[in-house]
Chains A and B, each alone.
Chain A
Amino acid sequence: MKTRIAQRAVTALVLTAVVSGCGEGLTDLNVNPNEPVSVGAEFLLPAAIVSGAERLHGSSLNMDMVGLWVQHYAEHRYTIEDRFEIQDGTVSGHWSSIFAGPLRNLYEVVEKGREAERPNEVAVGTILESWLFQAATDLWGDVGYSQALLGRESPPDMTVVYDTQQEIYDGLLSELAAAGAMIVPSGPKITKGDLIYGGDMEAWRKFANSLRLRVAMRLSEVNSIGASAAFASALGAGVFTSNADNAVLRFVDNGVDVHPIYGYERNRDDHSISATLVDTLKSLSDPRLPIYARPNAFGEYVGTKNGDQTDPPLTEVSRIGTYFSSAATPAVIMSYSEVLFLRAEAAERGWVAGDAGDLYEQAITAAMSQIGVASGDIEAYLAQPSIQYQGGPAGLAQLGVQKWISLFGNGPEAYAEWRRTGYPNLQAGPDAINDGLIPVRLPYPDRERSLNRVAVEEAMARQGGATINSRLWWNVR
Chain B
Amino acid sequence: MRKRKWIAAIVMALGAFPGCLWGQATGTVQGRVLDAGTGEPLSGVQVMVVNTRVGALSGEDGQYQVLNVPAGTQVVRVILLGYQADDQSITVAQGGVVRVDFSMTQVAVELEGLVVTALGIERQERTLTTSVQQVGGNELALVPDANMVASLSGKLAGVSIFNSNTAGGSSRIVIRGANSLTGNNQPLFVVDGTPVSNSVGTGVFGSRGYAAIDYGNAIQDINPNDIESISVLKGPNAAALYGSRAANGAIIITTKSGRGDRAVGSGVSVTGSMTFDDPLKLPDYQNQYGQGWNGRYSYVDGKGGGTYDDYDESWGPRLDIGLMIPQFFSEGQLAPWESHPNNVQDFFETGTTGMVNASLNMGTEAASARLSIGRFDQNGMLPGFRLQRTTFGVNASGRLTDRLQAQVTAQYLNVDGANRPGQGYSSDNPMFGFVWGGRQVDINLLRGHLYNDDGSQFNWNNRWNNNPYWVATVNKNWDTRDRVIGTGSLTYQFTPWLSGMVRSGTDWYQDNRKRIFAAGTLGQSGVDPNGAFGEGTVFRQETNTDFLITANPSDFGDFKVTVNAGGNRRDTNYRSSDVYVRDLVIPGLYDLGNAAVTPELGDWREQQRVNSLYAAAQVAFRNYLFLDVTGRNDWSSTLPEDNNSYFYPSVSGGFVFSDLFDVPGLEYGKLRAGWTAVGNDAAAFALVDPYVASTPFDGVPRYSASTSLRNFDLKPERTEAWEVGGEFQFLDDRLGLDLTYYNKGTFNQIVPAQISALTGFTSRYVNAGTIRNTGVEVQLSATPLRMENGFEWEIYGNYSKNNSKVEELYGDLETIVLDTYYGVSVEARKGEPYGQMYGRLYARDGAGNIIVGSNGNPLNSSSNPVGVVGNYNPDWTGGLGNRLSYGGLTLNVLIDTRQGGTVFSMTNRYGVRSGVLAASLVGREESDENGVPIPTSEGGGLIVPGVKVVNGDTVPNDIRTAAQSYHRSLSGIAEPFAYDATFVKLREIRLGYEVPRNLTDRMRMARMSVALTGRNLFMWTDVPNIDPETALNSGNAQGFEWGQLPSQRSVGFSVSITPGL
Contacts and interface: CB of A to CB of B under 8 A. Distances in A.
Nearest to B708: A100
Interface stretch (A238-246, A355-363, A400-408, A443-451): A443-451
A422 interface: no
Contact of B704 (A14, A34, A51, A148): A51
Contact of A38 (B613, B691, B814): B691
A318 to B, nearest CB: 13
B758 A26 contact: no
Interface in B615-665: 633, 635-638, 640-641, 644-645
Contacts of A22: 611, 613, 633, 635, 645
Interface string A399-438: 0000000000000000000000000000000010110000
Given A32-B690, A35-B693, A3 B495 contact: yes
B108 interface: no
3 A-B pairs with least C-beta separation: A151-B759, A104-B760, A255-B597
A86 interface: yes
Contacts of B972: 85
A384 B823 CA distance: 50
Contacts of A14: 502, 547, 567
Interface in A359-376: none
Nearest to A151: B759
A266 interface: yes
A116 interface: no
Interface string B599-612: 01001111111010
Given A34-B690, A36-B691, A451-B754, 18 more contacts: A18-B569, A22-B635, A23-B641, A23-B644, A27-B637, A27-B644, A30-B608, A32-B684, A37-B691, A47-B703, A96-B762, A100-B760, A100-B762, A148-B759, A156-B764, A158-B759, A160-B758, A193-B701
B26 interface: no
Contacts of B813: 450-451
B304 A313 contact: yes
B857 to A, nearest CB: 11
A99 B702 contact: no
Nearest to B403: A3
Contacts of A47: 694, 702-704
B538 to A, nearest CB: 14
A236 interface: no
A452 interface: yes
Contact of A154 (B640, B645, B690, B759): B759
A434 B860 CA distance: 11
Given A33-B605, A447-B754, A85 B861 contact: yes
B333 interface: no
Contacts of B820: 89
Interface stretch (B342-350, B521-529, B744-752, B1010-1018): B521-529
5 contacts: A29-B607, A35-B692, A96-B762, A99-B757, A252-B698
Given A26-B611, A143-B758, A256-B582, A313 B494 contact: no
Interface in B530-549: 547, 549
Contact of A29 (B306, B633, B637): B637
Contact of A35 (B498, B525, B637, B691): B691
A77 interface: yes
A56 interface: no
B89 interface: no
B832 interface: no
Interface string B49-88: 0000000000000000000000000000000000000000
Contacts of A233: none
Contacts of B637: 26-27, 29-30
Given A151-B759, A151-B764, A152-B761, A44 B704 contact: yes
> Which has the most chain A C-beta neighbours within 10 Å: B502, B640, B644, B691?
B691
Contact of A254 (B597, B701, B709): B597
A284 interface: no
Interface string B931-957: 000000000000000000000000000
B702 A23 contact: no
A195 B697 contact: yes
Interface stretch (B28-36, B219-227, B307-315): B307-315
Contact of B698 (A33, A88, A156, A257): A257
Interface of B: 209, 293, 304-308, 310-311, 463, 494-495, 498, 500, 502, 523-525, 527-528, 547, 549, 567, 569, 582-583, 596-598, 600, 603-609, 611, 613, 633, 635-638, 640-641, 644-645, 684-685, 687-695, 697-698, 700-707, 709, 753-762, 764, 766, 811-815, 817, 820, 823, 853, 855, 860-862, 866, 965, 972
A158 B811 contact: yes
A267 interface: yes
A32 B704 contact: no
A22 B692 CA distance: 32
A418 B25 CA distance: 106
Given A34-B604, A89-B823, A315-B305, A452 B700 contact: no
B384 to A, nearest CB: 23
A269 B463 contact: yes
A110 B600 CA distance: 30
Nearest to A107: B760
A267 B756 contact: no
A104 B761 contact: yes
Nearest to B838: A446
A10 interface: yes
A46 B702 contact: yes
A282 interface: no
A150 interface: yes
A220 to B, nearest CB: 28
Given A193-B700, A315-B304, A447-B817, A37 B759 contact: no
A160 B760 CA distance: 10
B548 to A, nearest CB: 10
Nearest to B567: A18
A96 B700 contact: no
A144 B308 contact: no
A297 B815 CA distance: 51
Given A7-B500, A89-B820, A104-B705, A254 B698 contact: yes
A182 interface: no
B697 to A, nearest CB: 5
A453 B310 contact: no
Given A151-B755, A433-B853, A19 B692 contact: no
Interface string A167-205: 000000000000000000000000011010000000000
A108 interface: yes
Interface in A103-120: 103-105, 107-108
A388 interface: no
Nearest to B526: A267
A193 B694 CA distance: 13
A18 B635 CA distance: 11
Nearest to B529: A266
A254 B611 contact: no
Given A7-B498, A10-B500, A23-B611, A105 B525 contact: no
A135 interface: no
Contact of A100 (B293, B692, B761): B761
A365 B605 CA distance: 56
A451 B523 contact: no
Contacts of A263: 525
A21 B758 contact: no
Contact of B760 (A21, A26, A103, A252): A103
Contacts of B853: 433
B525 A23 contact: no
B605 A34 contact: yes
Given A7-B500, A46-B700, A158 B764 contact: yes
A30 B607 CA distance: 7
A157 B811 contact: yes
Nearest to A158: B755
A36 B703 contact: yes
A322 interface: no
A267 B502 CA distance: 58
